């Protein structure tokens, strides 16, 4: 049985610190998930005054 949600963390690659957590519905297809994560990545970069290329995301494994 699949989980209803996936959890992601956004990481500053220069410091290695997690700067944001995000949860997304698992019902979306992979392309929609990637588009949503890219949008959130841009928002996180803007809010934290960090270059967009400095941030990456990883799925949180339980």
52 token code pair: 């967009």
Mean pLDDT of 36-41: 96
Q: Is 55 exposed, middle or buried (0-12, 13-18, 19+ CB in 10 A)?
A: buried
Is residue 13 within 8 A of residue 54, CB to CB? The reply is yes
Half-sphere exposure of 27 (CA within 13 A, CB side): 2
For 54, the domain range is 5-59
Residue 1 has pLDDT above 60, yes or no: no
For residue 58, is pLDDT > 60? Answer: yes
* pLDDT tens track for 7-33: 999 999 999 999 999 999 888 888 999
The total number of structural domains that make up the chain: 1
**CA-to-CA distance for 40 and 53, rounded, in angstroms?**
13
């Amino acid at each position: 049985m699949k989980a209803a949600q996936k959890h992601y963390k956004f990481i500053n690659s220069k410091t290695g610190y997690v700067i944001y957590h995000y949860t997304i519905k698992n019902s979306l297809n992979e392309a929609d998930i990637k588009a949503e994560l890219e949008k959130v990545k841009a928002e996180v970069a803007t809010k934290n005054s960090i270059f967009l290329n400095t941030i990456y995301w990883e799925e949180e494994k339980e």
